[in-house]
Amino acid sequence: MTHEELDLFLERTPWVEWAQDDNGNFYFRHTQFDKDEKVKVEPRALAELTPEKLERVLVAGRNVDHITRVTGYFSKVSGWNKGKKGELADRDRVKV
């Protein structure tokens, strides 16, 4: 990945925070997941990296959407507003 491709990737993925140290190493982290988990990419490894690979590493299978069935139809919880998500959290879970 070139620096131009990296810039484009960072523009279209606002959930990625990054920093660069004095040695040219890049550090990336996903803002929606573990705040302490960072991915280090050395300058020589950046050339072999693609935006898709970097996104896959940062997400690491954690971008699973919660789907629930409400009044007979399925809905993605990620599309709900704050109040509706609060109602979901307050629901009592029972085992049948």
Question: Would the CA dihedral through 43, 38, 19, 17 be positive or negative?
Answer: positive
Tens digit of each residue's pLDDT (9 = 90 or more) over 29-77: 888 777 778 889 998 898 888 888 888 888 876 767 778 877 778 888 8
Assess whether 16 and 35 both reside in one domain. Answer: yes
Assess whether 44 and 75 both reside in one domain. Answer: no
Nearest to 49 by CA among 14, 82, 79, 25: 25
70 within a domain of the structure (yes/no): yes
96 within a domain of the structure (yes/no): no
Q: Specify whether the CB–CB gap between 47 and 37 falls below 8 A.
A: no
Structural domain total, the chain: 2
Assess whether 46 and 78 both reside in one domain. Answer: no
Cα–Cα distance between 14 and 75 in angstroms, integer? Answer: 25
**Would you say the pTM of this structure is higher than 0.75?**
no
Assess whether 12 and 52 both reside in one domain. Answer: yes
Q: Specify whether the CB–CB gap between 27 and 21 falls below 8 A.
A: yes
Tens digit of each residue's pLDDT (9 = 90 or more) over 2-32: 889 989 988 988 888 899 999 999 999 888 7
- Strand 39-41 relative to strand 16-20, pairing: unpaired
